[in-house]
Structure 1
């Protein structure tokens, strides 16, 4: 889960003049800039939601051809949420089960689940669409180089000169000027590191 405030989409930040003056994600993927078609299997309320959002998101440079399934899933969750809310308006929130116990209406559970799904699609798939600015393309180079960690022994030799040598593995002799052995400690070699 991402921490902190979700970033604004890059397209919106550029349109608004980048008010925070923070840099853009140079590795943000750029999918084909085409308007996706509404899938025919969507329910009527979902198709209405598609018609309401698709052109607006496309005009904002947030929706692309590759976002079709994500927008369709969001719209279908929206359609099911609308249906559950309509049914919930016709029935009481609490119902008596055949066993005699009082329980929440199943439509309330459906409505809540669809709201949860809608939120996931909006946030995680870029449909809010703030999440898009955090997506990195695999082909884009990293902006900052990877830092190499080296463990060194720093000492003064017999002439008082500062000497830096790579740290030997545990149990091997230190440089002759010290005459001591490296204690049994864990030494991490760059080849042992997984980045």
Structure 2
């Protein structure tokens, strides 16, 4: 298993890479080589979202244009998009309570061979 973050990542993304990879290893989840791109996406968007939040905390949500109009800072939209991607990849990696629950439910059904995919689709929330 590849354990080091890509060298091109910023320090915050690398720190999150180490934190998440440690959790994955502790929970004995398997990551294949193709899964590391999802982890990269998660970490990069985490760092981007964090940076936007830092800027918004210090600069505020809006700014005044040279013409005197009040506008939303670009970091609001950038941070929101990064957070959406962050949450989507967190689900893929099993980092949210709901995604872990679904993963565990599938493991239980696989062991008992009583899993009904059609029924599961009907009752699941689709996320």
Output the TM-score relative to the length of structure 2: 0.68
Deviation >6 Å, runs of 4+: none
How many residues are aligned here?
106
Q: CA deviation at 1:35?
A: 4.7
Is residue 2:34 matched to residue 1:58? Answer: no
Q: 2:4, 2:94 → 1: CA distance?
A: 16
Query: Could you tell me which of 74, 86, 96 is aligned with 2:64?
Result: 96
Partner of 2:124: none
- Spell out the pairing of 1:122-161 with structure 2 (5 A cutoff): 122-123=90-91, 125-128=92-95, 130=99, 133=103
- Spell out the pairing of 1:1-195 with structure 2 (5 A cutoff): 34-66=1-33, 67-123=35-91, 125-128=92-95, 130=99, 133=103
Output the TM-score relative to the length of structure 1: 0.46
Q: 1:100, 1:75 → 2: CA distance?
A: 37
SS in 1 for 2:7: coil
- Return 5+ residue gaps in structure 1 as ranges: 1-33, 135-142, 145-195
- Return 5+ residue gaps in structure 2 as ranges: 107-114, 117-127
Q: CA deviation at 1:100?
A: 2.7
Q: CA RMSD in A?
A: 2.8
Name the one with the larger helix percent: 2
Q: CA deviation at 1:39?
A: 1.2
